[in-house]
Amino acid sequence: MRFGSRLAVNLDFLGENIDSLKKLCPQNNIIFMVKANGYGHGIVEVVRYALKKGINEFGCATLAEAVNLREQIPDQQFEIYVFSDFNLNIEAEGDLFLEKRIIPVITNEHDLKIVLSNQKYRFFPLCLKFNTGMNRLGMSWDKSGEIADLIKSNGRDSVFHVMTHMACASQSHREHPLNIKQRERFDEVKESLKSRGLTIESTSIANSGTIEQGFGLEETHIRPGLMLYGPSSLDESIRHLSKWNGKIISALETEIIKVRSIKKGEPVGYGGTTATKDGQLAIITLGYGDGLSTNYGNSEMFFKEYTGNIFGRVNMDMAQILFPADADIKEKSTIQIWNEDPSRFLKLSKQTQMIPYELFCQISSRVPRVYLESRDS
Ligand SMILES: Cc1ncc(COP(=O)(O)O)c(C=O)c1O
């Protein structure tokens, strides 16, 4: 566990993002995606806070994440969906879904048949995901008629939720051919289920990139992840189309444990990278063991009015930042790798060549998560 570094999660900012999202999509119910430990921010704290803000449906990737969430927050009612990692062939896993009231997102006919043919699942909500072009998980969109017949022939006449997932949500929804095709195919899926007499209780198609562009809001639900943690997920070329202006809910903070003046030509760190100019070298207590990967090499870092760059090799436990020679940098100062400013965060994403999702998720458990919340929230 780190002493000098922390991921400070500002729950008030999460609250502001939730309020902004509700303004943007007043008609939609929200399934808040909290997989991968709440995109690195701490699933339990994020969900507890979101519940206070009136969100009561959440998306996990694995059954274990879902069970943990249910067990950590036993005192409140909310829905949990598991999107990918579970195995209904294992009897005990199926029982966990029942016992803990967790909804599996069914993505293949094999699982669907298990649910339809087994008496113990007779009240199980059918949540179906269709593949409309992403070609990852999901039942094929052009088999929706057969799937509807299978459901009807097993005595069910309603489906709890029907969804699909967009492959290119960060690209234009108006112009990108796959985005247009996926939406058309999803409409066909819904039509085909309805035309065979199935009632569809709820539907969703939109993740952050889709919501940001104002698409997919005709469905009952939206499934935002990234945007609620702050950043836009749109490709830089179309970011101007985004209706989103979120605050990054976390600040990655670290301590400067050593400052040394360095002369042009002197070696720095492992491999002895040669300083190309005189400067003030700040050693920070974050390295790749904490999730500050070698991709951070050369990225811009800010302290007071000074701009420096990660210099030389990132180590397991430390990294070096080279500031200008006249910079007033003191040992024991705190420096923020990112903060609530989305443009700074997205610049870091570009410089490190890591998508925002990755920047968040790779912060390791060695970095303590600290939660900030105003008293009146
Ligand atoms: C099925 C599904 N829906 C919604 C999301 C949320 O996506 P985003 O974080 O881009 O909003 C994800 C995340 O990958 C997902 O897998």
Question: Which domains does the chain show, CATH number per domain?
Answer: 11-229 (3.20.20.10), 250-372 (2.40.37.10)
Contact 32, 228 (CB under 8 A): yes
CA gyration radius, the chain:
24
**CA 173/CA 210 separation, integer angstroms:** 7
Cβ of 223 below 6 Å from ligand 1: yes
Confidence (pLDDT) at 104: 97
Q: Which residues of the chain have pLDDT under 70?
A: 376-377
Cβ of 246 below 6 Å from ligand 1: no
Cβ of 233 below 6 Å from ligand 1: yes
| Token pair listed for 288 | 């790749």
Confidence (pLDDT) at 377: 63
Confidence (pLDDT) at 299: 98
Residue 23 Cα to ligand 1 middle (Å) = 20
Instruction: Report the 10 Å Cβ neighbour count for 368.
Output: 13
DSSP per position, 60-98: EEEHHHHHHHHHHSTTS--EEEEEEE--TTSHHHHHHHH
Contact 82, 102 (CB under 8 A): yes
Task: Return all residues near 150 (Cβ < 8 A) that are at least 6 apart.
Answer: 109, 112, 113, 116
- Rounded to two decimals, what is the model's pTM? 0.97
Cβ of 216 below 6 Å from ligand 1: no
Confidence (pLDDT) at 1: 75
Q: Among 53, 1, 18, 49, which residue's Cα sits nearest to residue 225?
A: 18
Which of the listed residues 164, 165, 170, 244 should we mutate to test ligand 1's pocket, taking the one with most ligand atoms within 8 A of CB? 165
Q: Among 35, 30, 33, 75, which residue's Cα sits nearest to residue 55?
A: 30
How are beta strands 279-284 and 319-324 bridged, if at all? antiparallel
